[in-house]
Structure formats: structure tokens, C-alpha cells
Structure 1
């Protein structure tokens, strides 16, 4: 069995290679540059302060900050939660100029804060960096290993970060084998208060550290892809400023039993998580059939847990699986049950890979660096929602605070989870249905291989290998 999204079988044919970090610097906040003289700033006037109003979202505020620079001003303070930017300029025509540049359409209104020139002189805050909620935010700059993250370039996360790194108000659950909260790239974004372990018969255990990994690096790797911090250390995640919580649903033997998964979905709902990542299938059946016995009862129980989470505002994102299996045309299953003796059985499309095939769950297939379908990735027309990078992905590992490469749809799913977190940051009023719809519509259409593959049915806009296309981070952060 080559299902590498299984935490206990992380890399089929690709070993996780730990990378040691040496002499890494610490990120410092860059000063907000004063715009180069332009025609807009050609006529100097008195030093004035202004309020510039926009929509209350990280993306809109970022654009207004650029509009200020275009108009010959500097940003003194940004309030992303209010949609307010305090600016300073000697451009006598600043109020007109800030509206007329490339980003001016995002300006709702602008006004001087006083009638006399600023007596206290140029704002010192402009030399220290942008501030929001009392925090100094570093300007986007490469972390040491970011150059090795081809996956971020493929989904345009590097471009999205020029708009926003995500909002601290967004909470992402990593439903997996545990997350190393001491890792230097994860500690800044880790939320202990909302973390839990569900591996004791599905009973939630919020004891300090119960949610940490004990035998597997899988959850730590997934967490890094979602939200490794922009801090001058190691890598950068898709949404490097959102918060993450560990929801441990994998036991020390690598199994994810239904009661663990149900506990995790309910915990996420009760703790107001916005997005959760599920890089696993529920054991011991690779496919749970809709019958009148055990499998049918479990399928319904898990379905209800997912539905509950969705109705409480949680978007669930899951790995499609690594069996190179056509989920739209099920015939046999030779891998179940995996906790005793597997038997080959006949199955049909009423037998579901859970949680990824349940209603309301976003199903993610895997791509290679070349943009092809990863050979291990499950597929299926109208089964795959979107695709994302999953082959040889560099991310955080446990123990030791290092970095390594892993492969699987397990690695693809957290890219989409990160994109959804950026979407939620820019559109905080969106619920799961809006996020799911936007993930599909904003995905970049990806055609079937030029060398015909009869398994890739469908169209360029929606096919069995890539669903509705490759996840797009840049579209996610635009209004």
C-alpha cells in the first residue's frame, strides 16, 4: 500500500531528509520607504498627517499602504481591523494623489487630521516599520530556505504575501499526529489554548502537551506548510501570520480510528476554528461502505460530525489519498481492514474514503514540481475539487526543530488549507460554503496530460486529475 498521506507511511520511495540550519539570521522590521519623488510629489508642502479609510481587511489595507507610498507619503500606523491607515506627507496634493494612483480605487475617504503643519516633525514610527495592534510587522522578505520552496511559487503564495501574510484572527486546526509547538518556525503562530489530543478513545485531553507528537513528524510537516512564520528562520508557510492549533487524532501506532476523527471535528467546531486540515483516511477501512452494519453506522456518525463542524463555521480540507485509485469508479478494495487481516472485497461508489469524500469536505489531489499529477495521487471526475503541490515538499519536522522533504496528498492538502486561511483573512465574513466555492472558482484551470491518459476524463475546467485546477493564493487575497 502506498498511501503516503497515512502518518505511519509518510513517504513511498522518498525518504524524509532532515536539513540542518546554520547561521540563520533574525528577521527585523524594515522601515517603510519614502516614495521616490514622482509627479504626484513634485510640489512640496507642509508636513501633514492624514487618515485614509478603506475596507476592514488585510488585503485592502495593504493596497492603501501602497497608494500612500505612490502619493509621496509614508505610513505611520495601520489598523487592519478598522480599515484605517494613518499617513504622513509633504505632498500638497496628497489627498488627490492617494486616490488617483494604481491602488487608489481602494481608498474610501481621506482627510487631514489637523489644519496646521505637524509640529512634532516626521513620525518616528515610519522609521520603525508598520504597526498593527501594537505589533511590529516585518516587510515580506525571504526566509533562508524559502528559495527551496518551489511549491509556494506554483500556487503563487510568494505573490500573495506581497498583499498579506494572513490575519491573526484566523485559526487553523491541524488534525493530525500532533504539532511540535517548540519548533522555531511554528512557535510564533501556535495556539495552545485550542489544542487537544483525541487519541484516548476519542475523549478530548487538553492537558499541556497532550497534543504534541510522540512517534511521527507528519503533523509538524503539515503545520509548516500551512503557517510556518515569516521570522527569518527556515521556511515560510502559505499563510505565515495565521494561528494554528494541534488536534491530535493519530495514535502512537499510526491509526486514526473513527472516534478520534469525530472528536477532532467536534473540537474544531466548539473552538471556533475557521479551517481544518485532514491528511489521513479513517482506519481501519480505506473505504467505508454504506451498509446496515458497522461500516454504515460509522459512515453516518462521521458524516454528522463533519456536518456539525461545517454548520459551526469550519471548512474541512482533506487529502485525496495515495493509492493511485479512481474514486469515481470503485471496484475492489484489497487493503482493508488494516488493523487485522486485509481481504479483497468488491466495493462500489457508496463506499467512501473518509473524511475526504464526505459532503462539505474539500478534496485535494497532488501535483509535481513540473505541474503533472503525482503518480501516487488518487483521482476521479467530480471527486477531486482542486490540486496542489505534494511531491517532495520541504517543511518543518520533529524532533529537533529541523526541516525535511515528504511526499503525498498529505502534503498537497495543507497548501489548500493555507489558501483557504488567506481567503478567510481577506474575507472574514465568508463561511465554509463561500470558501469552498471560491477555492474552486479561483483555481487555475489545468488540462489533462498532452499525452492522452484515458483515466483523465472531463474538461480543462474540471477533470479527474486536477478537479477545477491548481489552487491560487494570489486570487485568494484579492477582493
Structure 2
């Protein structure tokens, strides 16, 4: 859940409890026009420090996976979760030489290995012969993710009877009120909310939460359906996002874009506000396995705002996440993602000032065109910028010609929060769920469409919007044509056309 402080306020969905709400804004991604080598960020843990890794195999099949699992254990690691469908293993090890060792033990099977974070893991998974010791070394104890950009929530006073629909200017902007005259969405459609958890008792949400398909992915990247595991703990972010997508039409509070579809809580934000790669991989794989139609991703994957293909650890992680997103798409899942709250032009930015955000001090580093904000900049993912009530680009929203697919309301959005309340929040994290809701309506009206066809229709249906001044005079100016530009992509998402 990541917004960001002018960027380092990062936008990953989480942060401290408050940060998460602030943080899930959306990921940034760089496609800067430079071939300069990105600045390395070495991860060199000492022996005894438990770290998390992704191990990628050359082929995605059970046989290769079993061989890679043996290589992991032979190299002194513990297999946390295997995804043979995509040839990815999540492992933990306290051996400083684990990466080099596993490449040797699995030399005919393993293509890449990468650390998924720079901090020692707290969510350790024990295994035979692996003496983890008494626990964390302590240097990172109590560390929370920096605020990522989503603005703090502002409670909506009062309680009671549906009175907040008059505050939902956002629904009118995208014509969802008109679309709902055609359909409120089908109960056959399921939206996965990859976020900080959803309050299952909220009066505006409880009728639409699919408990059977909800899961917690923050236990080392292993799916866990234990009761309460997918509930929100330190952040209201996921509950707010869920309300925008599917708050019920029940005479209470607000109404979502698709008030009759089901939503599943896929918790990918830990209590410290971090969304590590193994959590997101678990989320996308779960969505594909459970037959979800749409996922919303209002975050960027920690600890790097931009993951660079010319850095071995980061390249391995980027490959693993890309495989998970592609596999979910092949299973029929279409994904929307927040563009990020750093106010950057993703086509020209060459500097990352806030990564890694789980280190004692981030470094300012050079990035290049191979450095991406994931999952927002991955193929097939719908990238969403944020608008104000007047239709201007929100001051915090990332932008970029060819990087933004569509725009949606994201400033001062009224929606649900844990405890049965409602609040305003701002961020590209708030814009993305509008698009996820529209995709859910589209799938309801056109169940035959594939994910690629849905993205094509979404972009074609958007209301073309000419370049305009941003909310404030900061950040890169709008470039492009009325048909497609750096602020709006192909235009403002249009729910009514989506169901026609």
C-alpha cells in the first residue's frame, strides 16, 4: 500500500500501520532512456543471518522443481514454498554462501537465484537440520516501512444510513452509476484484493467477502488460510480499496463500482508494512489457482522501488514475479495496478532515492531502462494514474507516455475502513481499485473475454482526455496526443462502455 513522500515516502502498500494506508499507492517503474549500468546494491549477509531467496528453474515442471528443492537443502537452505507451475522456489537460509552454493548444487537445473530483501527475515520457516538460532539479530527489530505516499485517511463524520453516496464524485466521473443501471456485477465474478487485509465484519463489505478464497501470503510467502490470518492488522488500506471495488448496495455507507461481485482478501502486506516478492508471488499464484477474474494491486514490491535487470539478485526476483503474473493471466486473471505516488515521469526518471527501503539507510542510485516498478510495469498489467475531482492529474501521481494505460479518480476518495467506518484516502492506490471494479463489471457483462481482450477493451472504452495542467505545478508536464498521453493514458476509465 504505498504512496510516498515525494518518494520516499514510498508507495508500497504498507509501512507502519499508518504507512500501509498511505503506502499502498502504486508502484513506480522506470523506463528511463539510458543504457548506463544501474547502481549495484549488494546483499552480503554474514553467516547466521536468515535471508529469503527466490530460486528459478530452467523449466516449469515437477521434476525440475524436485531437483531444485534438493539443491536448496544441499546448499543449507529450507524450502518454504515451491511453485512448479512457474519453476520458482522460495527458500530461506542462514548461510552467507547460499546463493553460490545452490548454483553449484543445482547447476543443471537452476537458472538464477536472488535475495528478496536486504533485511533479515522475521517470518522464519524451520526445517530439518537448519539451526536458525534464537531469532533475529536485533538490528532490524521494530523497523517499519517508510510512508509511501498515500495520504493519511480522514474519517467521514457520522454513522448510519447511506449518506455517503453523495460524496462519491468518483463514481460519477467514471460513469459507474450509469453502468450499474445495466448491472451491479455478477456473483460469478471474483476480485482478489492483494493488499493489507479486509475487515470481514464491515457492514458494507461482509456480504461480498469470499471467505473460502481469502488467504494470508505473509507467512514467508506460503499461502495460509488460518482463521483471521487475512484480516487487517496494522493498516486500513485493503479495506478501503475493497470498498471502492465492491461495497454493497445495501442502504449503508457507500456503493462500490461493482457492488454485487465477490472479493477475496489476499493479504500480501506484513505487519511492518512490507510487501516482499514472495508475498506477491503467492498472491498472483493463489489468484490463478482459485479462479479469480481480476486482481487489484495498489503497491510496488519491496524493498526496491525499481527492480533492475542488470543486477543479479533483482533480476532473479523480477523474473520470478513476471512468471507468476503471466501464469495468473494464462489462468484468466486480469490485473490492475497503481502507477505510484512519487510524481515521477516513468519514461525519463534515472534516479531511485529510496531503495532498499528495508535497510537502515536507503541509497541514491542510478537506474536505467531495465529497472521496473513491479508489478505495475510488467506486461499485461493495467497501470493506473490518479485524478482529482476536477479531472486534473493528482500532484502525487506517477505519469509517463506509454506507461499509463488509463486514469481514474484517486484524490479524496470516500470508502470503507476497519471497524465499520468510512474515511477519505488519496493515492494512486485509490485510483487502481476503480479500474479493478470496472474490469469486474466488464467480466460480468462479457464473461467470454480473455484478460488481453479485457485490457484492449478497457483502453478503447476510456474517455479520451487532452493534456491539461497537473493539480499543482510540479513534476513532468503532460506530453502526447488527445488519444494517448502521459497523464491519462488512453483516457479516463469508463464503466458504462465497459458493460455495453
Query: TM-score range with shorter-chain normalisation?
Result: 0.7 to 0.9
Which moves more between the two structures, 455-464 or 358-367? Answer: 455-464
Q: How does 1:66-465 map to 2 (within 5 A)?
A: 143-340=162-359, 341-398=361-418, 400-449=419-468, 455-465=477-487
Asked if the contact 1:21–1:402 (Cα under 8 Å) also holds between the matched residues in 2, the reply is no
Distance in 2 (CA, whole Å) between partners of 1:173 and 1:454 is 33
Aligned to 1:121: none
Q: How many residue pairs are counted as aligned between the two chains?
A: 359
Q: How does 1:50-61 map to 2 (within 5 A)?
A: none
Q: Do the aligned partners of residues 449 and 23 (structure 1) sit closer, same or farther apart at CA in structure 2, a change above 3 Å counting? A: closer
SS of the aligned residue for 1:437 comes to helix
Asked if the contact 2:179–2:499 (Cα under 8 Å) also holds between the matched residues in 1, the reply is yes
SS of the aligned residue for 1:189 comes to coil
Asked if the contact 1:5–1:410 (Cα under 8 Å) also holds between the matched residues in 2, the reply is no
Distance in 2 (CA, whole Å) between partners of 1:405 and 1:303 is 33
Asked if the contact 1:356–1:363 (Cα under 8 Å) also holds between the matched residues in 2, the reply is yes
Distance in 2 (CA, whole Å) between partners of 1:195 and 1:256 is 17
Asked if the contact 1:145–1:235 (Cα under 8 Å) also holds between the matched residues in 2, the reply is yes
Asked if the contact 1:175–1:246 (Cα under 8 Å) also holds between the matched residues in 2, the reply is yes
SS of the aligned residue for 1:363 comes to strand
Distance in 2 (CA, whole Å) between partners of 1:273 and 1:439 is 18
Aligned-pair CA distance for 1:440: 0.3
Q: Unmatched 5+ residue regions in structure 1?
A: 25-142
Aligned to 2:155: 18
Asked if the contact 2:215–2:229 (Cα under 8 Å) also holds between the matched residues in 1, the reply is yes
Asked if the contact 1:3–1:376 (Cα under 8 Å) also holds between the matched residues in 2, the reply is no
Distance in 1 (CA, whole Å) between partners of 2:10 and 2:468 is 23
Distance in 2 (CA, whole Å) between partners of 1:403 and 1:454 is 33
Distance in 2 (CA, whole Å) between partners of 1:5 and 1:407 is 14
Distance in 2 (CA, whole Å) between partners of 1:168 and 1:148 is 26
Q: TM-score, normalised by structure 2?
A: 0.70
Aligned-pair CA distance for 1:7: 2.9
Q: Unmatched 5+ residue regions in structure 2?
A: 1-7, 23-148
SS of the aligned residue for 2:154 comes to coil
Q: Do the aligned partners of residues 336 and 4 (structure 1) sit closer, same or farther apart at CA in structure 2, a change above 3 Å counting? A: closer
Aligned-pair CA distance for 1:13: 8.5
Moved over 4 A (4+): 11-14, 450-454
Distance in 1 (CA, whole Å) between partners of 2:316 and 2:152 is 37
Distance in 1 (CA, whole Å) between partners of 2:375 and 2:318 is 9
Per-residue CA deviations over 1:419-450 (Å, capped at 9, x if unaligned) read: 00000000011110111111100000011116
Distance in 2 (CA, whole Å) between partners of 1:222 and 1:6 is 11
Distance in 1 (CA, whole Å) between partners of 2:10 and 2:424 is 16
Distance in 2 (CA, whole Å) between partners of 1:15 and 1:214 is 17
SS of the aligned residue for 2:278 comes to helix
Greater relative CO, 1 or 2 (CA 8 Å, sep 6+): 2
Q: Do the aligned partners of residues 17 and 312 (structure 1) sit closer, same or farther apart at CA in structure 2, a change above 3 Å counting? A: same
Asked if the contact 2:12–2:274 (Cα under 8 Å) also holds between the matched residues in 1, the reply is no
1:6 matches 2:13: yes
Q: TM-score, normalised by structure 1?
A: 0.73
Distance in 2 (CA, whole Å) between partners of 1:13 and 1:292 is 29
Q: How does 1:41-52 map to 2 (within 5 A)?
A: none
| Higher CA-based Rg | 1
Aligned-pair CA distance for 1:6: 3.0
Which moves more between the two structures, 2-11 or 405-414? Answer: 2-11
SS of the aligned residue for 2:212 comes to coil
Distance in 2 (CA, whole Å) between partners of 1:161 and 1:408 is 25
SS of the aligned residue for 1:187 comes to coil
Distance in 2 (CA, whole Å) between partners of 1:395 and 1:454 is 30
Asked if the contact 2:392–2:469 (Cα under 8 Å) also holds between the matched residues in 1, the reply is no
Aligned to 2:34: none
Per-residue CA deviations over 1:219-255 (Å, capped at 9, x if unaligned) read: 0000000000000110000000000000000000000
SS of the aligned residue for 2:207 comes to helix
Distance in 2 (CA, whole Å) between partners of 1:461 and 1:283 is 34
Asked if the contact 2:11–2:300 (Cα under 8 Å) also holds between the matched residues in 1, the reply is no
Q: Do the aligned partners of residues 177 and 22 (structure 1) sit closer, same or farther apart at CA in structure 2, a change above 3 Å counting? A: closer
Asked if the contact 1:174–1:278 (Cα under 8 Å) also holds between the matched residues in 2, the reply is yes
Asked if the contact 1:321–1:378 (Cα under 8 Å) also holds between the matched residues in 2, the reply is yes
SS of the aligned residue for 1:15 comes to strand
